[in-house]
Amino acid sequence: MSLREKIKQASILSKILVTLLLVLGVFFVGGEFISIIQLRIANAKLREQIVHYQESFKRDSTLIENLKNPEFLEHYARENYFMKAENEEVYIIR
């Protein structure tokens, strides 16, 4: 076997090896890429939930503070739970 044939054979083997490594790399990295995208989507959804719950917490905290005021408590109970004083009649019109 001449030197030229050995170089040609080594060149073909190296091309096959490089192609095989590229295919395996794309296969494994592609799976990781999909996982990364899925994790980023889940992260974005969780961040939206954080904002939602922070707003809920702020709204509920304000309501709790307001309910400590007896006048507001009476107004809130009348409006949302249709409560009344002992000496009055309440008619619900929807």
| Sequential pLDDT tens for the chain (94 residues) | 677 777 778 788 888 888 888 888 777 777 778 888 999 999 999 999 999 999 999 999 999 999 999 999 998 988 888 788 788 887 778 7
Q: Domain count of the chain?
A: 1
pTM above 0.85, yes or no: no
Confidence at residue 4, expressed as pLDDT on a 0 to 100 scale = 76
**Cβ of 51: how many Cβ atoms within 10 Å?**
9
In 3-state terms, what secondary structure has residue 59? Answer: helix
What amino acid is encoded at 82 in this protein? Answer: F
- 86 in a structural domain: no
- 92 in a structural domain: no
- 52 in a structural domain: yes
Contact 62, 54 (CB under 8 A): no
- Cα 59 to chain centroid distance, Å, stands at 22
The parent domain of residue 56 ranges over 3-81
- 93 in a structural domain: no
- 56 in a structural domain: yes
Degrees, nearest 5: CA angle 69-76-52: 95
